[in-house]
Amino acid sequence: MNQDTLLYTLPQWFVFAGIIASVYGWVEHKKTFRLLGPVIFFLLGIFSVYSILNGSFSARDFLTPAEIINEAMEEETIEDIPFIAQLLPAYFAFLFSGLLAIPTFILEWKDRKGKNLMIILTALAGLMGFFIIVGALRSF
């Protein structure tokens, strides 16, 4: 499995695992699984930070040195943007989901009001990233 494949498959598994754990914990009244959902989304956020900082989306992989130096880029359409670069907004959504997972975990752990709203917002941020990946795969 090459790095490109890992960039779009692994986050999808994180999103599904986080949602399934949260829903299962809510339906079956199992606090362990309700806590596991935000932990999975937090791990997805860590993976996103690692991927972004690791240079997986670096412009040097998509532009020639002359284009970078001259900044002489013409307007591009979505079809001209490389597939990996189309995934970058999804990783920002996953990062946001990971950040939302922190208060979600704390609210769930302390059994406070707003925990259900926070897990829904966390899952929606993760799903937003998921659908960005699906859109990139369709244009590929």
Per-residue confidence at 62, pLDDT binned at 50, 70, 90?
Answer: low
Does the residue 70 lie in any domain? Answer: no
Listed in sequence order, the residues at least 6 apart from 64 whose beta carbon sits closer than 8 Å to its beta carbon are: none
Per-residue confidence at 109, pLDDT binned at 50, 70, 90?
Answer: very high
**Comparing C-alpha atoms, which of 2, 8, 6, 23 is closest to residue 131?**
8
Does the residue 131 lie in any domain? Answer: yes
Does the residue 22 lie in any domain? Answer: yes
Domain that holds residue 7: 3-59+79-139
29: left (phi over 0), alpha (psi -120 to 50) or beta: left
Q: Which of 39-48, 56-65, 131-140 has the highest mean pLDDT?
A: 39-48
pTM of the model: 0.84
Is pLDDT of 78 > 50?
Answer: no
Does the residue 92 lie in any domain? Answer: yes
Does the residue 25 lie in any domain? Answer: yes
Neighbours of 74 (CB within 10 A): 6
Does the residue 135 lie in any domain? Answer: yes
Burial (CB count within 10 angstroms: exposed 0-12, middle 13-18, buried 19+), residue 33: middle
Does the residue 114 lie in any domain? Answer: yes
Percent pLDDT > 90 in the chain is 66
Q: Total domain count for the chain?
A: 1
Is pLDDT of 15 > 90?
Answer: yes
Is pLDDT of 12 > 90?
Answer: yes
Does the residue 73 lie in any domain? Answer: no
**Comparing C-alpha atoms, which of 126, 135, 107, 130 is closest to residue 18?**
126
Q: How many residues does the chain have?
A: 140
The pLDDT of residue 17: 97
